[in-house]
Amino acid sequence: MRLDGKGRVNRAEEVLFQFDGKYVRGYAGDTVASALLGKGERLMGRSFKYHRPRGPLTAGSEEPNALITVGSGAEQDPNVRATMQEIYDGLEVFSQNAWPSLKTDVMGINDLAAPFLGAGFYYKTFMWPKAFWEKLYEPIIRRAAGLGGLSGEAHPDDAERAFATCDVLVIGAGPAGLMAALTAAKSGASVILCDEQTEAGGRLLSETVDVDGKPGHVWAAEMVQTLRDLGVRIMTRTTITGVFDGGTYGALERVSHHLPNPSADLPRECFWRIHARGAVLAAGALERPIAHPMNDRPGVMLTSAMASYLNRWGVAPGKRIVLFTNNDSAHATAKDLADAGIDTTVIDARSGIAPSGDYLVHAGAKVINTRGHLGLRSVKVRQGTREWDIEADGLGLSGGWNPSVHLTCHMNGRPTWNPEIHAFVPTPGSVPGLEAAGAAMGNFSTHGALKSGIFRARKVLESLDLKPASIQTPVADDTPLGLAPLWAVDAPGRAWLDFQNDVTTKDVHQAAKENFQSVEHMKRYTTQGMATDQGKSSNVGALAVLAEATGRDIPGTGTTTFRPPYVPTAIGTMGAGAKGKGFAPERFTTSYANALQMGAPMIEAGLWYRPSYFPRTGEKTWRDACDREVNMVRDAVGVADVSTLGKIDIQGPDAAKLLDFVYINTFSTLKPGRVRYGVMLREDGFVMDDGTTACIAPDHYVMTTTTAAAGNVMKHLEFVTQALHPEWDVSIISTTEAWAQFSVAGPKARELINSLTDTQVDNDSFPFMACGAIDVLGVAGRLFRISFSGEHAYEVAVPARYGAALWRDLVARSELLGGGAYGMEALNVLRIEKGFVTHAEIMGRVTARDIGMGRMISAKKDCIGKAAASRPVLMASREELVGLRPVDPNTKIDAGGHLYNIGDRVHRETDQGYATSACYSPTLNTYMALAFVRDGTARLGERIRFVDRLRGVDAEVEICHPVFLDPEGGRARG
């Protein structure tokens, strides 16, 4: 099917690749689709629901039919568009959604059941019998779901992420995009030009048009060189996938998909975040098909695709071609086909249309059916009352053009219906700083696109206060697109709209009949536009059919919502770098290396790594070490690294206002040198975080947050100061990494602290909840007398560069006093014994009242969440924080167990609460837990049933006060 003298592939360089295990020979520059078509292979895929045979419909990224899997094993990449995958020696590709073979697909039997599988059959069928869902329906659906499959193994290829900035981003390198880039570059702007094809030129690569007296592709190549000389960054194989706030654009670059042996350092794909001060959308337009019975056979494709395969890849889309159209653009393709010696017939729905070349035209006629199973064999035509068959192995459909409005809708914009071209066009201002040009704005002639590119670029430049250069529009054809709208042919049989999901015009009519008349409802009821192509070829046609079915016009019917990404994008590519250990940032304390030397196993706390416990010789289990560390803190002194707690420095005349507004209790009365505990609510009234804030000096505070919520609290404060009270004079900055901070806790804590400094610390000069500057072995630091263990305790902070040395010194001094380092396990036991909450308790669904801190909410001021927290539903009977002790102290209870009244059956409706934290207390020689129980504070002393089915525990426990040890707080204050 190759044509001599046609195409831009390199026929001197043959390429051998495999399709379904068979070798296929193509040429350098071919895609999988063009190479297979060149060998006469039209069948490349199967549809999703009915498993109907399908060939390529398009020649670009909008392809719904020809989806393939590239590679095998861990490297397999499913649902790749054969129209976009370039071939190379050694490439392996496989067809999808067919078994045992593409030509003989057993699931093709679904097509015979089509009358029972129409719109909404899922919802009507799988509701009954109820017992069938888990045992029959769900397993079948899961096995049938999807097209391609993943290997289940980690993909060995790494993706990459990159960032770029520019004055003007031009999206699309067709005639409009090239002129926009030229205008911007000659005006002194920095320009990035992106196009998803392998070379610039857009439709100029697929059509026989002249620009300034030169073939379009030649003019485009010369323009590319001019742009490079002007410093324009041209990024081919790069698709702009999304538009985001602040002039940010996401872009997917296919870096090595086309290379047989890429360097190990070369990523497969790169996801770009491009920040542009302004942008020109020159993404062109997508041709739309005409729905008619049996319009989905292999060999049926868009007329524009036929032009691409003919002129760009030198492939005849058939030996006998029929084009079915309602507009003039198809006649240019008909002339090209005829000039290439291909028998061509045009079926034009309009009357009085004459040929523009050596081809036959049937005006006022329509295609009403086709024949052929694995490939098109004939086309049935109706003209008035006359019907006849035309032998054909190729049918081109051209129902008009839809401007590529998608990116202009990514920030909630809606396109506008243009009745002159019978299509939606971008609404000006939908994306700040972006202007649509050329066919993307409905200018379909070559001259119109060139002129539009210049004009829109000038508008962007003026908005950037750049003086636009004077650019002359090249000479090109300016013939307008003549079009008479035709969306669907009224004839018996199934007419396809969504080729991948097998949605027909009948399905849309059925949805309307069942009152799914909203375009969004119709979409979900029929699955129209929900395939991997996101309805690029079918959405507008489906809207037109829905409009006709409901008696509305198309703009009144509306459009579906376009969302990023514009083309399918691997999650691994968007999250490039987040693989293995790179999945999340790893944060290490200054004591990390020394803790490893001490044999401490590390556990993750948020993004930080903290020691679980510090084993010593003779200790056989973690409990041995944990119990020793707890007793050590209770009886002598322990040292723990608490640098991971969030530390936020707050300064300014309105700093106290900020604290009063974000905390439920009052901080404006806090004096310098003092610390206060506070609770913070979300806007919905639930607890966000808790912690202490120290007043370092007038208008200067240091807020401490939990490790897990440090980032969220920082964002919360930034939102308050930027959005809610921008008039406040206050500055905030995270200093978490700037300070190394260590807890020194136990009866000998003061003795250890006094050994570090010449300034003697005592109970009078430094009482409980005091803070101040301190000299730590010659280093200026800070000291806070706060306790998360319930013991007499301090937290000493020094600049992070001194952290490792201070940690080693503190551990050594504590060991001389009979103590030592303690880890997260002991810290957890110590705080549970004292009833202190962490994010195990304040997990996002509890109020201050639930954790026993409702009285902290000040009546004298407002704060975030105060009004919402007083809602009746949150003031009614709820689960409240309590303690649990097993009646048998040796019975192990764990977090996650649920509570039931003794005598009640274990059931969701009888559930009385659940345990959030649990431990064994070597201090009190019993297991214990913190829990939330319905009306818990009124049930102290009551016995209740603890059930943990996961661990096989069913025990009787007593509800008690959550503070198990030293409820008066004498230890911490002494």
**Tens digit of pLDDT for each residue in 898-955?**
999 999 999 999 999 999 999 999 999 999 999 999 999 999 999 999 999 999 999 9
Write the CATH number of the domain with boundaries 160-285+403-463: 3.50.50.60
Nearest to 523 by CA among 537, 510, 511: 511
Tokens for 404, please give them. Answer: 């590529």
Percent of the chain predicted with pLDDT > 70: 100
Least confident of 69-73, 594-598, 940-944: 69-73
Residue by residue, DSSP assigns 558-586 as --PPP-S-SS---HHHHTTT-SGGGGS--
For the CA atoms of the chain, what is the radius of gyration? 36
Beta-carbon contacts of residue 138 (< 8 Å; ≥ 6 apart): none
For CA atoms 178, 179, 184, 185, the dihedral sign is: positive
According to the model, what pLDDT value does residue 136 have?
Answer: 81
Least confident of 7-21, 557-571, 644-658, 723-737: 557-571
Q: Please report which residue ranges of 762-835 form alpha helices under DSSP H.
A: 803-816, 824-833
According to the model, what pLDDT value does residue 138 have?
Answer: 80
- Answer yes or no: is pLDDT of 191 > 80: yes
Q: Which helix (H) or strand (E) holds 505?
A: helix 505-513
Query: What single letter denotes the amino acid at residue 720?
Result: V
The answer to whether domain 160-285+403-463 and domain 289-399 are alike in fold is yes
Percent of the chain predicted with pLDDT > 90: 89
CATH architecture of 615-644+738-837: 2-Layer Sandwich (3.30)
According to the model, what pLDDT value does residue 201 have?
Answer: 96
Beta-carbon contacts of residue 862 (< 8 Å; ≥ 6 apart): 661
289-399 classified as CATH 3.50.50.60 = yes
Q: Which helix (H) or strand (E) holds 588?
A: strand 587-588
- Answer yes or no: is pLDDT of 583 > 90: no
Tell the CATH topology of 1-154: Ubiquitin-like (UB roll) (3.10.20)
Cα separation of 789 and 834, whole Å? Answer: 7
Q: Which helix (H) or strand (E) holds 597?
A: helix 592-597
Span 254-290, pLDDT tens digits: 999 999 999 888 999 999 999 999 999 999 999 999 9
Cα separation of 768 and 785, whole Å? Answer: 6
- Answer yes or no: is pLDDT of 141 > 80: no
Cα separation of 24 and 231, whole Å? Answer: 40
- Answer yes or no: is pLDDT of 142 > 90: no
For range 175-180, the mean pLDDT: 98
Span 519-546, pLDDT tens digits: 999 999 999 998 889 999 999 999 999 9
Residue written as token pair 């041995």: 624
Span 82-101, pLDDT tens digits: 999 999 999 999 999 999 99
Q: How does residue 158 score in pLDDT terms, banded at 50, 70 and 90?
A: confident
According to the model, what pLDDT value does residue 137 have?
Answer: 78
- Answer yes or no: is pLDDT of 143 > 90: no
Cα separation of 199 and 236, whole Å? Answer: 6
Tell me what the pLDDT averaged over the chain comes to: 95
Q: How does residue 730 score in pLDDT terms, banded at 50, 70 and 90?
A: very high
Cα separation of 405 and 427, whole Å? Answer: 9
Residue written as token pair 């520059």: 29
Q: Where are the beta strands (DSSP E) in 656-699?
A: 674-681, 687-697
Query: Domain residue spans in the chain?
Result: 1-154, 160-285+403-463, 289-399, 494-552, 615-644+738-837, 645-735+846-852, 877-973
Beta-carbon contacts of residue 867 (< 8 Å; ≥ 6 apart): 685
719 SS3 class: helix
Domain 877-973: which CATH number of 2.40.50.200, 3.10.450.50, 1.20.1420.20, 2.40.30.110: 2.40.30.110
Phi and psi based region of residue 147 (left: phi greater than 0; alpha: psi -120 to 50; beta: remaining): alpha
- Answer yes or no: is pLDDT of 581 > 80: no
Tokens for 345, please give them. Answer: 């017939």
Tokens for 153, please give them. Answer: 């193994």
Write the CATH number of the domain with boundaries 645-735+846-852: 3.30.70.1400
Tokens for 547, please give them. Answer: 């409009």
